[in-house]
Amino acid sequence: MFIGGYISAAGLGLTCPDWPLCPSGIFPNEKYFIEWTHRLIAAITGILVVAITIGSWIAKNSDRKIKVTSTLAAIFVVTQITLGAIVIDLKLHAILVAIHFGIGILLFAMVLLTTLFAFRLDKNTFETRV
């Protein structure tokens, strides 16, 4: 979210007008580096979110809350990447950019909830033992 916000605030959204790669190919030159970094982070995030979702469904003792929030996160990450490509194709249409930001917030919320559910502490941890 940080780098996406930076890209938007700095007016760099169309620095790299092609999707998924910039005109310089896989490795960017100086002109495309920031936008390329944003896309690289998005791709890595997408892979990790989908992997966590698959892992939550494969794990036998995975809580239902984790399955729901991670599945929603996977749906939002695929939507976010697809919407990012459409935003570039339509030259930063304002409504689509706003939706892209909104989906990003929902994605962050689902990843945060998945993490909190996965690492929640047992209630007995906080009890004072006499």
d(CA 87, CA 96): 6
Our separate counts of H helices and E strands in the chain read 4, 0
Query: Is-contact 81 42, C-beta < 8 A?
Result: yes
Closest CA relative to residue 33, chosen from 72, 3, 71: 3
C-alpha gyration radius of the chain: 18
> Catalytic residue among 7, 16, 35, 80, which?
35
The H or E element that residue 115 is part of is helix 94-118
Question: Does 35 qualify as catalytic in the annotation?
Answer: yes
CA separation, residue 19 to residues 14, 85, 92 (Å): 10, 6, 13
Q: Give the catalytic positions in this structure.
A: 35
